[in-house]
Amino acid sequence: MSTGALACGPVRRLAPAGRRRVGPVMAGLCVVLALCAAISLSLGASGVGPWQMLSRDLGPADTAIVLNIRLPRLCLGAMVGASLAVSGALMQGLFRNPLADPGLVGVSSGAGLGAICAIVLGGALPVGLTAMAGPYLVALFAFFGGLISTLVLYHVATRGGQTSVATMLLAGIVMGALAGALSGIMVYLADDTQLRELTFWSLGSLGGATWVKVWASAPLLLGAIVLAPLCAHGLNAMALGEATARHMGVRVERVKTASIVLVAAGTGAAVAVSGGIGFVGIVVPHILRLLIGPDHRALLPAAALLGAALLIGADTAARLIVAPAELPIGILMALIGAPVFLWILLRRRDGLEI
């Protein structure tokens, strides 16, 4: 190995032979996630702290804070983080490119447009029905918005299995602009109550977490997280190109369709409940590829764990930094994610595929 190591020093440094320690990394991620969850549950603007929780010295009001405010928020954060990270990893596998991210290429904007449509047009429904079906409707519309934009994007940017990165990113910008314009029309049509709702939603926060929101979004979010590994072998093979994947027995069209639907579900539902939280889908898979390699069989579950931990951690920080007020988590994620993204670009400039 001596001469080989010398001949390709930089690459080996970034991707050492012993990096593929999947087991320990997975175990570590589980521990980190559990720690983040425990901290998130025991810290907050109200006085209920970790020692109180451990000593079981909680009054009814404190119990309500933990069970009805912090716990649903924790569940929602974990699901949203996991599904954003998994959607990112899926999309990068689909496009064979580590820069593909639902937030960057307009899928989130499409999902957002869907959510806005649901909020505004839902007003046409009878009041009782809106109250009952509202959260589900928003999640569902966001899913379809995400689905349509992913399909359009894929067909514009990919020809014969080859994705043009420039086309993909440009198409993403255009789709974002289009979705923005259509959203503007929707805002114009909205009445005062809906405007209030829209404003809160667009801030991008887990602040409004309720059990209703958790249940409304869980089917799509968990569906995306749990079903994604089914695409893993297919995406691994597709990293060698579509024709080669076919020769290895992969039904490429199926894997593509499944990935697109799962990305739309994961991103759509996440956007519906938490507004725009960017960069999770690009930062998490990137870090994990450095740790355990690009094998999607390990990458997708690991992305779910790290995505959940990252978002819970960021949300806890967002609640505490300016307590009792809250920093929108979208801002915090952009602060973390943007530099990491620039770092990825700098590394790619050296001609290294990630």
In the complex, the residues that contact other proteins under the rule CB under 8 A are 1, 4, 7-8, 11-12, 14-15, 17, 20, 96-98, 233, 236-241, 243-244, 246-251, 289, 293-295, 352-354
Three-class DSSP labels, 99-136: CCCCCCCCHHHHHHHHHHHHHHHHHHCCHHHHHHHHHH
Residue whose CB is less far from other proteins, 39 or 165: 165
Amino acid at 18: G
Q: How far is the CB of 250 from other proteins (least distance, A)?
A: 7
> Looking at beta carbons only, is 140 or 260 nearer to other proteins?
260
Backbone angles phi, psi at 163, to 5 degrees: -100, 130
The minimum distance between CB 282 and other proteins, in angstroms, equals 14
Which residue type occupies 96? R
**CA nearest 172: which of 253, 240, 91?**
91
Three-class SS string for 3-15? HHHHHCHHHHHHC
Cis peptide, bond prior to residue 50, ω within 30 of zero: no
**Residue 297 Cα distances to 78, 85, 227, 346, angstroms:** 20, 14, 12, 27
Query: Taking a C-beta distance cutoff of 8 angstroms, is the pair 197, 67 a contact?
Result: no
The answer to whether 310 touches 284, Cβ cutoff 8 Å, is yes
Q: Provide the minimum distance between the beta carbon of 95 and other proteins in the complex, in angstroms, as a whole number.
A: 9
Q: Are 309 and 336 in contact (CB under 8 A)?
A: no
CB nearer to other proteins: give 240 or 321.
240
Residue 93 or 204 with smaller CB distance to other proteins? 93
Closest CA to 88 of 350, 354, 312, 273: 354
In the complex with other proteins, which residue's Cβ is closer, 169 or 187? Answer: 169
Instruction: Name which of 147 and 232 has its Cβ closer to other proteins.
Output: 232
Minimum distance between the CB of residue 248 and other proteins, rounded to whole angstroms?
4
C-alpha separations of 235 from 96, 232, 283, 320 in Å: 9, 5, 19, 40
CB of 89 to other proteins, least distance (A): 11
Least Cβ distance, residue 236 to other proteins (angstroms): 5
List the beta strands (DSSP E) in the chain: 158-159, 162-163
In terms of CB distance, is 7 or 127 closer to other proteins?
7
For the CB of residue 6, give the shortest distance to other proteins in the complex, in Å.
11
**Smallest distance, other proteins to C-beta of residue 68, A:** 43
Q: 15 or 38, CB closer to other proteins?
A: 15
